Amino acid sequence: MTDSQLLTTTETSLAVIETIQERDGATPAELAATLDLSESTVYKHLHTLGKHGYVVSNGDTYRLGGRFYHFGMYVRNRSKIYELAGKYVIELAEQSNEESDFGIEENGRIVTLFDSVGSSATPSSRLNNYEFMHTTAIGKAILARLPPSRIDQIIDRWGLPQLTEQTITSRAALDDELARIRERGYAINDQESIPGKRVAGVVAEDPSGSIIGGFTVSGPAYRIEDDDLYREFPDILRRVVPEFETELDSQGLI
């Protein structure tokens, strides 16, 4: 069904931006071929985006500009709640000596706002801060708290794309996984979004029970054993995340 409220020109500019990001840079010819547009049309969009700092060129190759970082930092720092979450991400990383993240759900996707690594952990190589819910520990922990109608909406919009051999790709399997999460109180992402990365995650909520976002602890599969993933990581999260929730309440941030 056609959405009469959509502006085609804006949609094309967004497609150009997303394609540049996905390809880690692209020439006008590559963009034209990928998006099935004429090069002259692509040039107009690139010129407009470049004028406002959203893309930069290096020879014939265009990349996303630093202005996106400016907006990203604004989103991350617009709330005192998110600022406080950043403090607890560092705490989780230090206690686990592994990597920790804090993310929120927006429009059926997970946006990672903060990440930190412990002193002996491998530096984070995160490339994607906008992820599918069914592939992440934060996403699955949140999905487990949502009504079936909302889960239906998210899947109808984004599907269940496969990112690795371990990714859940059927609604039946997802429902089974969400039932396990409700029973044990935490979610697992065992190499479902990135090969070689094992993650445990829980939701954070306000006193009324509304979800604020989620925290994770993660590490590489060559080092993280099942006991780490299913016992140690959840224990750390269960200990630290309530401290975050208590401090939110005591500071009057919620």
Per-residue pLDDT tens digits of the chain, which is 254 residues long: 456 677 889 999 999 988 998 898 999 999 999 999 999 999 899 999 989 988 899 889 999 888 887 777 777 677 788 889 999 999 999 999 999 999 999 999 999 999 999 876 666 655 678 899 999 999 999 999 999 999 999 999 999 999 999 999 999 999 999 999 999 999 999 999 999 999 999 999 988 889 999 999 999 999 999 999 999 999 999 999 999 999 988 877 66
In the numeric block, the tokens 């935490």 are attached to 186
Cα–Cα distance measured from residue 111 to residue 189, given in angstroms and rounded to the nearest whole number: 16
In this prediction, residue 66 carries a pLDDT of 83
80/250 Cα distance (integer angstroms): 13
Beta-carbon contacts of 116 under 8 Å, excluding residues fewer than 6 positions away, are 89, 90, 92, 93, 99, 100, 124
* Token pair 């990135």: residue: 194
Side chain identity at residue 86, one-letter code: G
Q: What is the pLDDT of residue 236?
A: 97
CB-count burial class (<10 Å; 0-12, 13-18, 19+) for 124: middle
Q: What is the pLDDT of residue 74?
A: 76
pTM: 0.81
Please name every residue paired with 201 in a beta bridge, in sequence order, or none if there are none.
Answer: 187, 216
